[in-house]
Amino acid sequence: MVSHTQGLGPIGESRVRDPATLVIFGASGDLTRRKLIPALFIAYAQNLLPEQFAIVGFARRDYDDVLFRGMMADAVKEFSRLQTDDETIQRFVEHIRYHKGDISDPDAYAELKKKLQDVEIYPENRLYYLSIIPSLFETAIASLKNSGLVTDPAARHWTRVVIEKPFGKDLESAMELNAKLLHYLAESQIYRIDHYLGKETVQNILSFRFANAIFEPVFNRSYVEHIQITAAETVGMESGRGGYYDEYGAIRDMVTNHILQLLCLVAMEPPGDLSADAIRNEKVKVLNATRLDIRKDISDSVCRGQYGSGVDAQDKHLKAYQEEDRIAPHSDTETFAAMRLKIDNWRWADVPIFLRTGKCMGKKATEIAVQFKVPPLQLFQHVECEEDVCDITRIAPNTLIFRIQPDEGIFLKVGTKRPGMRFVVEDVNMDFSYSGTWNKSLPEAYERLLLDTLHGDSTLFTRSDEVEAEWRVVQPILENLDQLKPYTYPPNAWGVPEADWLFPGTEGQWRNE
Ligand code: BG6
């Protein structure tokens, strides 16, 4: 049996040894077509999937093996990041089969069990991928367990279950969900996906911090002025997501998972080793020390926004959030959220932490910016004039930017002398970009994460206590939403200007770059 806590290592580059059957529940959905099957195909094309494997699509639609295989072949052609030949695609889809069934119907599991008994086709190690609405998680897992499709964690053949967010809607429901999952499965069998952890650039935060000795000594309250994390998206409510989104909003959809995970990686202590539990223990410690930086009341540490209508460059009407499909009239769900946090530990005490995310913003940009303090003595201030307007220019603080996407890379802003007769210090970028350094496309998050589940490596998945600690950070916001009515912002802006109010007493502002 593969141990649960293998940790970050070269394992992702090696072929999965254990033969396995992957059953995807909700196989007719978008995730299967756009992400899961193309990611599995790439693993197959690189010889990383086990020699013997089967993929079973489980859904209600009236498909059969041939039709489903054809659809999956099309999905590979449309969404795979690598060009490939038809023959390889054909060989890959021969491993795919379809099982028609309703997730709420116990007979569907009995039928599935019967099918999987043919171990020549369906290897006995089983990975169940639940790409379904959260209200069906328990039904699916209970039915799998009751029909004898879940093995004991110590058994010869493993069972693993992958679940997609949302892991609850608040702290209480997250705890309830964890309790239900843990009633049927051991923690070591559960893989909660946060796809941000599968991103190459996100994993690189750990390497950058802990493989270089020069940054760690300055990564603390003595040198860091503040940290800001932005996840700005240009998309609105595309692909009919309105129904889900209106119930969740930006804080639940992005902050309680992806953005807090980024914060963990940039703020955590070095783990003793790279095992899954060593890394996750450190993340939980940071989350447990993180809280809203409330000074007078919650509105000085949190700001919510919602996009209104606008027009694009061609004068075309851009819908307001409330005009989008499946959004409640007068909805006050936020599509933008910004907050100011603090981390009460020795490393980060009093260092303001700013988080912000939004839909329909002016630019797609996900980044972490660590802004350092300015030198204690401003030797290099100078006067800059534009026509007859002159200003004293002070040197800008050094900033280290982890650019998660797009233009993936790491940049360090430093002051250097501008060539010329005057002694003028100007900000320049020392940069490392993925595209300029390696001439190949970055693996998609799901490629890495699916292989990790097959290898039994849970490092890049969220543990139950981690999920609960994430909800604990935002719980005071969820309990005070009536004091935090969303401000309106025009589409294609950097969110609401009111989010600037979070900065008083801090040297700096949002990086709208
Ligand atoms: C998902 C959210 O988890 O992440 C979406 O539900 C969001 O609302 C998406 O758009 C962003 O992912 P990425 O990889 O495009 O940054």
How far apart are the CA of 109 and the centre of ligand 1, in A?
31
How far apart are the CA of 165 and the centre of ligand 1, in A?
11
Task: State the closest ligand 1 atom to the C-alpha of 235, by its place in the atom list counted from 1.
Answer: 10
Quickly state the pLDDT bin for 10 (edges 50, 70, 90). very low
Q: Is residue 304 within 8 Å of 321, Cβ to Cβ?
A: no
- The residue behind tokens 């802990």 is 210
How far apart are the CA of 149 and the centre of ligand 1, in A?
32
Instruction: List, for residues 285-308, the tens digit of each pLDDT value.
Output: 999 999 999 988 999 999 999 999
Task: State the closest ligand 1 atom to the C-alpha of 233, by its place in the atom list counted from 1.
Answer: 10
How far apart are the CA of 273 and the centre of ligand 1, in A?
30
Give the pTM. Answer: 0.93
Task: State the closest ligand 1 atom to the C-alpha of 241, by its place in the atom list counted from 1.
Answer: 8
Mean pLDDT of all residues in 105-129: 96
Instruction: List, for residues 245-289, the tens digit of each pLDDT value.
Output: 999 999 999 999 999 999 999 999 999 998 999 999 999 999 999
Does the annotation count 95 as an active-site position? no
Indicate where the chain has its CATH 3.40.50.720 domain(s): 20-164
Indicate where the chain has its CATH 3.30.360.10 domain(s): 198-502
Mean pLDDT of all residues in 303-316: 92
More confident residue, 171 or 82: 171
Task: State the closest ligand 1 atom to the C-alpha of 253, by its place in the atom list counted from 1.
Answer: 6
Rounded CA gap, 169 and 189, in Å? 22
Q: What is the pLDDT of residue 1?
A: 36
Give CA 293 to chain center in angstroms. Answer: 24
Q: What is the pLDDT of residue 422?
A: 78
What are the C-alpha distances in Å from 463 to residues 28, 36, 268? Answer: 28, 22, 16
Mean pLDDT of all residues in 181-193: 96
Q: Whose CA is nearest to atom 13 of ligand 1?
A: 196
Q: Whose CA is nearest to atom 9 of ligand 1?
A: 254
Exactly one of 4, 195, 258, 455 is catalytic; name it: 258
- CATH topology for 20-164 is Rossmann fold (3.40.50)
More confident residue, 419 or 231: 231
Contacts of 454 (CB under 8 A, 6+ apart): 16, 18, 20, 22, 49, 50, 127
Instruction: List, for residues 376-399, the tens digit of each pLDDT value.
Output: 877 777 777 778 777 777 778 999
Q: What is the pLDDT of residue 12?
A: 52
Query: Which residues line the pocket of ligand 1, CB cutoff 6 A?
Result: 233, 253, 366
Question: Which CATH superfamily is 198-502 part of?
Answer: Dihydrodipicolinate Reductase; domain 2 (3.30.360.10)
Number of helices followed by number of strands (H, E) in the chain: 14, 20
In a mutational test of the pocket of ligand 1, which residue from 253, 403, 408 has the highest number of ligand atoms less than 8 Å from its CB? 253
Mean pLDDT of all residues in 38-60: 95
